[in-house]
Amino acid sequence: MAAPAFVVQAGKVLNPWVLRVAGRVPPWVVMHHSGRKSGKEYTTPLVAFAARPDQEVLAVLPLPWGSGTDWARNTMSSGTARLTRGGAEFVVKDVRLVPTSEAAEWLASMPSMALSAAGIEECLVGTLHKA
């Protein structure tokens, strides 16, 4: 589902304000990603969860507006991104698109229920590494 026009416009106004607290207030993070064509560095406030399905730690990034957003397309194109949370830097590698139903199985009950309640259909998932 594409973001409605009013959400896109609101994001342009609100994102600079949200960026001021996003890296400090869980589950918010700041994602640093590069443009697919321009190579320009961008920062985007997002919600992210950590999951541990096996031995690896995964970053789960919900896609409430689907995989067509610029940040999602940039991240899928490069296969990697950086996250900032609580002053710590992380690298997300091997990014892939997964159905929320699959990602929800790896999460704690509260994030899993929140994703289901919000009707989010897809998530970006990648291995999480300390930078």
Domain boundaries, the chain: 5-130
Is residue 100 within 8 A of residue 42, CB to CB? The reply is no
Q: What is the pLDDT of residue 20?
A: 85
Name which of 86, 88, 112 is nearest 100 in CA terms: 112
Predicted TM-score of the model (pTM): 0.88
Is residue 91 within 8 A of residue 82, CB to CB? The reply is yes
CATH topology of domain 5-130: Pnp Oxidase; Chain A (2.30.110)
Q: What is the pLDDT of residue 8?
A: 66
Q: Say yes or no to pLDDT of 1 above 60.
A: no
Q: How long a stretch of residues is the chain?
A: 131
pLDDT band for 121, please (50, 70, 90 cuts): very high
Average pLDDT over residues 82-109: 94
Q: What is the pLDDT of residue 4?
A: 66
Q: What is the pLDDT of residue 40?
A: 95
Q: What is the pLDDT of residue 87?
A: 86
Lowest-confidence pick of 14-18, 39-43, 103-107: 14-18
